[in-house]
């Protein structure tokens, strides 16, 4: 007889926000074999680009192999994971909207972050999570480029990556039977690390159908041919000619227009990783003034130069001579510094550049 205490499995389920319901956990499997093959084949075609991208970002010779794809439920998948994982949630926001995430073992996440920041014994803090999110964003960007080419869907975009190092039971996995692609990752050190890409059931089905559409004849789905042949008059001719039989409404479908809101794609966001180690000149400017040449030539020790800024007014922070922020001067361990108090708006920056 239960004493009212929750088991560890029940605690894990509550932490992940998953209710198994009265029927218990869903069985493993689900998803058709053609869907599995279509998804695995597509992801396999992108691993060379992923290896190249990660090699550029880390400076190491990165090799990704696989993946091995399967449809599986949460309980069966959790049994395959280490106790702690780095979860990077990067849902598709349009095109094929739905749940999408990556899971990395803690050790692999530290290795990637360490290579990208050139730090040893790195901790998985906020900065490391941002770096790992950038790496995954680059992977997703190249996937979107390939998926657009294969499906013709030009509206595919993803939400910004959100990375966190968590116990595996807390990872926000999709419900039901979702698609998992298991990859092998070598960061040039001879060590093979496994990592996983997860697609929710809905988005996995949508992408698989787009990659492997039903056979067609003259642009018409053959799955509808049987119904078309059953019409009145000459069998199926009205429907096959794009017309409806008399007295029957045409098959009208609403047009789906892509969003007009401009947003950076994952490919655009990922490309910034290529310039992350470029040096730029940052200058803090106390103020300016204009002087005649004869005044400048007359300067000597003790000359006071009056600037165009009032005492206590914020100083300008410039990058490559362009104003990006304002701040206040501070002293840190006998060194001068500047504390950022205001980021200049894009409109002000454009005015300054003009």
C-beta of residue 36 within 8 angstroms of C-beta of residue 210: no
Residue scoring higher pLDDT (67 or 272) = 67
Coil, helix or strand at residue 288: coil
**Whether the model pTM is above 0.75:** no
CA 290 to chain centre: 49
C-beta of residue 93 within 8 angstroms of C-beta of residue 157: yes
Residue scoring higher pLDDT (292 or 233) = 292
What whole-number distance in Å separates Cα of residue 213 and Cα of residue 151?
A: 9
Does residue 27 surpass a pLDDT of 80? no
What whole-number distance in Å separates Cα of residue 136 and Cα of residue 133?
A: 5
Does residue 241 surpass a pLDDT of 70? no
What whole-number distance in Å separates Cα of residue 145 and Cα of residue 157?
A: 10
| pLDDT tens digits, one per residue of 177-217 | 999 999 999 888 878 888 999 999 999 999 999 998 765 54
For residue 271, the model assigns a pLDDT of 66
Q: Which two tokens stand for residue 306?
A: 């009056």
Does residue 306 surpass a pLDDT of 50? yes
| pLDDT tens digits, one per residue of 213-235 | 765 544 455 444 444 444 444 44
| pLDDT tens digits, one per residue of 101-158 | 999 998 888 888 888 888 888 888 888 888 899 889 888 988 998 999 989 888 999 9
Strand pairing class (157-158; 178-186):
unpaired
Q: How many CA atoms lie within 13 A of 29 on its CB side?
A: 3
Q: Which of 197, 88, 199 is nearest to 134 (CA)?
A: 88
| pLDDT tens digits, one per residue of 45-92 | 998 888 888 888 888 888 898 899 999 999 999 999 999 999 999 999
What sign for the dihedral angle of Cα 331, 337, 340, 341?
positive
Over pLDDT 70: what percentage of the chain? 72
**305 φ, ψ to 5°?**
-105, 120
* Residues ≥6 apart with Cβ < 8 Å to 96: 147, 153, 156, 203, 206, 207, 210
Coil, helix or strand at residue 128: helix
C-beta of residue 325 within 8 angstroms of C-beta of residue 343: yes
For residue 324, the model assigns a pLDDT of 86
């Amino acid at each position: 007889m239960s004493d009212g205490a929750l088991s560890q499995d029940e605690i894990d389920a509550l932490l992940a926000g998953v209710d198994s319901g009265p029927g218990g956990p869903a069985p493993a499997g689900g998803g058709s074999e053609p869907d599995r093959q279509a998804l695995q084949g597509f992801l396999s075609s992108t691993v060379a680009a992923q290896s190249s991208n990660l090699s550029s970002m880390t400076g190491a010779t990165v090799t990704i192999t696989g993946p091995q794809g399967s449809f599986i439920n949460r309980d069966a998948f959790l049994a395959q994971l280490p106790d702690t994982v780095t979860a990077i949630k990067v849902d598709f926001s349009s095109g094929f909207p739905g749940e999408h995430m990556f899971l990395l073992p803690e050790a692999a996440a530290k290795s990637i972050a360490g290579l990208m920041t050139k730090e040893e014994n790195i901790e998985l803090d906020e900065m490391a999570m941002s770096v790992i999110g950038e790496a995954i964003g680059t992977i997703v960007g190249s996937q979107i480029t390939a998926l657009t080419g294969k499906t013709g869907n030009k509206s595919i975009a993803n939400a910004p990556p959100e990375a966190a190092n968590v116990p595996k039971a807390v990872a926000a996995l999709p419900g039901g039977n979702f698609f998992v692609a298991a990859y092998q990752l070598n960061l040039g050190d001879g060590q093979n690390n496994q990592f996983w890409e997860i697609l929710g059931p809905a988005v996995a089905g949508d992408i698989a159908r787009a990659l492997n559409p039903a056979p067609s004849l003259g642009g018409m789905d053959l799955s509808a041919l049987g119904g078309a042949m059953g019409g009145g008059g000459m069998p199926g001719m009205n429907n096959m000619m794009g017309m409806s039989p008399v007295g029957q409404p045409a098959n009208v479908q609403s047009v789906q227009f892509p969003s007009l809101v401009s947003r950076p794609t994952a490919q655009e966001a990922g490309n910034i990783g290529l310039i992350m180690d470029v040096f730029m000149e940052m200058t803090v400017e106390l103020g300016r003034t204009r002087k005649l040449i004869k005044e400048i030539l007359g300067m000597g020790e003790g000359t006071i130069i009056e600037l165009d800024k009032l005492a206590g007014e914020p100083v300008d922070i410039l990058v490559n001579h362009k104003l990006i922020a304002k701040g206040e001067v501070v002293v840190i361990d006998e060194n001068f510094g500047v504390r950022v108090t205001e980021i200049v708006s894009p409109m002000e920056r454009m005015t300054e550049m003009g």
